[in-house]
Structure 1
Amino acid sequence: MSAPATTSAPATPDQGLKAGSLSTASIVFMVIAAAAPLTVIGGSLPIGMSIGNGPGYPAMYAVGAVILILFSVGLTTMSKFIAEPGAFYSYVETAFGRRMGMGTAYLALLTYTGIQFAVYGFLGAQLTTLFDPVVHIPWWIYSLVVAGVVGFLGYRNIELSSKALGILLIAEIAIVVLIDVVVVGKGGEEGLNIDPFLPDNMFSGSMGIGLMMAMAGFIGFEATTVFRSEAKDPDRTIPRATYIAVAVIGVFYTVSGWAIVQAWGTDNVLAEANSDPDNMIANTARNYLGQWSGPVVQVLLLTSLFACILSFHNVLTRYQHAISHKRGLPRAMRAVHLTHRSPHMSSFVQTATIMVLTVLCALVGMDPVTEIFTWFSGLATFTIVILMLLVSVAVTVWFRAHPEHQVTPWKRTIAPVLSFLGLGTALYFIVANFTMLFGSTTVAWVMAISAPVVFGLGMVFATFVPEFDDKVITRNMAKRM
């Protein structure tokens, strides 16, 4: 068939998002912001070195980027034949049917809600630490305030969110690039070298955990396809934005990680990562840029976390909006604001979800960093890899069933199979280190079971709530008029 395999619900005044409002740059900004580059370099990098493969950890970002570039080949190629936004679930539904698709959709909601809530907890804790010398306010109060601000921006036109993300993203990338340039200019601590990419360092320590941590840093890049209905010339914009996002994130992480190793020296960087991981990037800035840069980095780390939350909020609201069109969520989430052309009801639901989770976790006394951030980000890492594995299989199966499409073997088979092997390896390492990832055998089992349970709920829901045929409904309504 030459027509798209699935189509979205017809655009009506109360359903249609604002088409053609997002350029390649706008989508790239939101996707890279979701990856939170400064948060990764300032927070995940030291931890990856500490529990992963030490000075060889930056090379894992390059490995992760290669795997995800391969994954993007099939993702963007098949996206041209799927008219509706919905990202992962649309691919799986197109290849395997509604039940598998709805299971994937529910699993995606769990993934993005998990990573977003994890960052809410971390940001709340950071704000408490920052303002504690002046006034003590519990972390969850800060998280609720941030949720309100994010909800307001999500309620408005998406262009407002993309502009806010663009400004914050440029600032956080600029400070890290400045650190990188000065470190290179001064020759680092021991002289510049390629030690992080040598086999002895790459395979040292726990390489599997290193790869797992590195893959977590890319969560959000795949969201480019969610914005298809709002993109300018989506057949060109979406593939371009996806490749640019993965390339920029991969190069940024790899080069910046290498620069941090150079700043402290191959022999000393692991000790610094172990002794003061929270302030490693700020200390690096102070050593090479001067004392003024420490507070700047700390403030930009907060804005990086905020940008990450806002970007995932935009992704989630559009996921919910798209799923509601498939009768997978309440009809109210299909509503689009008449003025802002945003999925405002979906935004409200997502904001309410985060607020309820925040209050519940506060009531039971959960720690925002060691429990909320660690557990929910670990869950998201686990489920995002499962989702990408499902999509890799879906791409291969669908193109084999539709040989009439003139697609090269590289795009329809080779790249998806290679990405499946790479992602499968990553999933093996994640499962093998589950207890270390969650810090508790009980929590590890609960998190592991939650993925198939949520997936199963989606399949059951799709079984008992079939999708409406929009064309039939439209035709019947016309007859009644």
Structure 2
Amino acid sequence: MSEQTITAQQGRLHGRLGVVSIVFMVVAAAAPLTVIGGNMPLAMGLGPGAGAPVGFVIAALVLLVFSVGFVTMTPHVPEAGAFFSYVTVGLGQRMGKGIAVVALIAYTAIQVGIYGYIGWAISDTVKFYQGPEIPWPVYSFAVMAIVALLGYRHIDLSAKVLGVALALEIGIVVVLDLVIVTDPGPAGLTLTSFTPEVFAQPALGIAVLFALTGFIGFEATAVFRDEARDPERTIPRATYAAVLIIGAFYAVTAWAFVVAIGPDQVATVAQQTLDGEGNMLLDTTNDALGRIGRDVVNVLLLTSLFACVLSFHNVIARYQFVLAGKGLLPQRLARVHDNHQSPAFSSLVQTATAVVIVGIFAMLGIDPLVGVFGSMAGVATVGMVLLLLTTSVAALVYFLRHPDAAGGRVWQTRIAPALAILGLLGSLWLVLSKFTLVTGGSVGLSAVLAAIPFVGLAVGALAWRPSQTLR
């Protein structure tokens, strides 16, 4: 393998990714079809039932407000690294390093969780079609090998693979939504989901919680800064587009399922899915599109999971790459492959990390859904909200300290970040207070898992030394 080491003058990743390519990468990380099949029944069955679409709308609004300060600060953060870079500029190197550890924990957790989920999903699909019963880790490791190959090469290849998978994934759900709307269920084209009474339901908070977990990865637009065609324009556009597309996709599809099943029955059907007595996504698809449609959605659910894990692999590899370039991780991680112009060694290390963690879960006989996916998604959710909250504080503090940079833009530099902080504090309380619903574990286990991102923040901040030189 031919590689070159990062230096202060040379060693940035290069590419010509435009808005569409970056949006593909980020929306793929959000795994829309996976969220529709997993988070949506949770939001409906445990939450406000037919009012669940409002939860996705609220989550999208909170993240849109967050994005205002995030993208306004982008021109003042002249490097990739997303949260680490933004928090370092706004709150200093100590807090920046702490938040870098949180990011690595959150993204690694959700990636490992998805490996568990996809291993189970492939195994379940093979058995459904009368295939051999093969343990889920075998499928997970096979997927890792493919992800490792794609992650090692230039980012353009991953973007093309994700683009095809995502186009098919969104396309089939759009078709499903249109068929449902043209031939609605027993209550017709009901708007019960959006009545004022929904906002008074205490259970609405649960829908917001599961909606937030469905957005994990949207903020990774900034990680691809060095590979973007025109970062100062591409990154803001991609960020807004990702939030709007993801939010609209979730909210409209959740409403379509309410229309298909009926507002009075949707909570019951969702709960049956949670109890293992049905599958809201596949059963509703079978009713609307027939057996062929069900089979297509089943396959695309697998490609959705694959696209998700590939996107997170690329994000984590680039986080490690940036941190190594600043001396916060071993220098060898900060190398660019001569031919592929990718963080190849960082990608290999990320694959090895996933192999070890998934291997430990497999040897312990942990259930791939509740044990692996549930617990890891819980850690990632707490980490994500903590990352967003700290980044909003960093944006507000930066513009307060640098009024010239604010340029008189009060909404973008003062009001929006402050509103985002309030919204994210509420979201963090919501996630922590309902955390056992996310993990599916006991209160004690859930408390330990919820503490991991906070411990990572403290360890990262305390490990920083003023004598370090951050380039």
TM-score tier by shorter-chain length is over 0.9
> What is residue 16 of structure 1 aligned with on the other side?
12
- Are 2:377 and 2:438, in contact at CA under 8 Å, matched by a contact in 1? no
Query: How big is the shift at 1:437?
Result: 3.0
> What is residue 343 of structure 2 aligned with on the other side?
343
> What is residue 148 of structure 2 aligned with on the other side?
151
1:199-214 to 2 correspondence within 5 Å? 199-204=196-201, 206-214=203-211
- Are 2:180 and 2:259, in contact at CA under 8 Å, matched by a contact in 1? yes
- Are 2:51 and 2:193, in contact at CA under 8 Å, matched by a contact in 1? yes
The alignment partner of 2:38 has SS state of helix
- Higher mean alpha-carbon deviation, 113-122 vs 179-188, is at 179-188
> What is residue 459 of structure 1 aligned with on the other side?
461
Q: TM-score, normalised by structure 1?
A: 0.93
- Are 1:34 and 1:311, in contact at CA under 8 Å, matched by a contact in 2? yes
- Are 1:327 and 1:465, in contact at CA under 8 Å, matched by a contact in 2? no
CA distance in 2, matches of 1:312, 1:391: 20
Q: TM-score, normalised by structure 2?
A: 0.95
What letter is aligned with 1:91? Y
User: CA deviation digits over 1:50-104, x for unaligned, max 9?
Assistant: 1122110111111111111100000001011111101011111112211110000
- Higher mean alpha-carbon deviation, 50-59 vs 344-353, is at 50-59
- Are 2:378 and 2:450, in contact at CA under 8 Å, matched by a contact in 1? no
CA distance in 2, matches of 1:46, 1:436: 12
> What is residue 58 of structure 1 aligned with on the other side?
53
CA distance in 1, matches of 2:251, 2:384: 21
Distance 1:264 1:340, change over 3 A: same
CA distance in 2, matches of 1:236, 1:157: 22
Query: How big is the shift at 1:202?
Result: 4.2
User: CA deviation digits over 1:398-423, x for unaligned, max 9?
Assistant: 00111112150000010111111111
Among 122, 126, 130, the alignment partner of 1:127 is 122
CA distance in 2, matches of 1:152, 1:407: 48
Query: How big is the shift at 1:204?
Result: 3.2
Query: How big is the shift at 1:464?
Result: 7.0
CA distance in 2, matches of 1:95, 1:261: 43
Among 263, 267, 270, the alignment partner of 1:270 is 267
> What is the RMSD of the two structures over their aligned residues, measured on CA atoms?
1.4
User: CA deviation digits over 1:22-74, x for unaligned, max 9?
Assistant: 11100000000000011111111011111122110111111111111100000
CA distance in 1, matches of 2:438, 2:31: 20
> What is residue 168 of structure 1 aligned with on the other side?
165
The alignment partner of 1:336 has SS state of strand
Structure 1 position 99 matched with structure 2 position 94: yes
- Are 2:321 and 2:346, in contact at CA under 8 Å, matched by a contact in 1? yes
Unaligned runs of 5+ in 2: 1-5
- Higher mean alpha-carbon deviation, 228-237 vs 431-440, is at 431-440
User: CA deviation digits over 1:334-380, x for unaligned, max 9?
Assistant: 01100000000110010000000011111111111011111110111
1:435-450 to 2 correspondence within 5 Å? 435-438=436-439, 439-450=441-452
Structure 1 position 416 matched with structure 2 position 417: yes
Query: How big is the shift at 1:148?
Result: 1.0
What letter is aligned with 1:157? H
User: CA deviation digits over 1:106-153, x for unaligned, max 9?
Assistant: 000001001111111010011111223321211111111111110110
> What is residue 355 of structure 1 aligned with on the other side?
355
CA distance in 1, matches of 2:408, 2:315: 29
The alignment partner of 1:135 has SS state of coil
> What is residue 395 of structure 2 aligned with on the other side?
395
Identity %: 44
> What is residue 142 of structure 1 aligned with on the other side?
139
Q: How many residues align?
A: 459
- Are 2:198 and 2:204, in contact at CA under 8 Å, matched by a contact in 1? no
> What is residue 217 of structure 1 aligned with on the other side?
214
CA distance in 2, matches of 1:367, 1:243: 37
Structure 1 position 114 matched with structure 2 position 109: yes
1:254-265 to 2 correspondence within 5 Å? 254-265=251-262
Structure 1 position 368 matched with structure 2 position 365: no
What letter is aligned with 1:175? I
- Are 1:53 and 1:203, in contact at CA under 8 Å, matched by a contact in 2? no
> What is residue 434 of structure 1 aligned with on the other side?
435
- Higher mean alpha-carbon deviation, 129-138 vs 335-344, is at 129-138
- Are 1:24 and 1:237, in contact at CA under 8 Å, matched by a contact in 2? yes
> What is residue 425 of structure 1 aligned with on the other side?
426
CA distance in 2, matches of 1:429, 1:329: 34
Structure 1 position 253 matched with structure 2 position 250: yes
> What is residue 284 of structure 1 aligned with on the other side?
284
- Are 1:30 and 1:162, in contact at CA under 8 Å, matched by a contact in 2? yes
Among 173, 182, 185, the alignment partner of 1:185 is 182
CA distance in 2, matches of 1:400, 1:204: 37
Query: How big is the shift at 1:205?
Result: 5.7
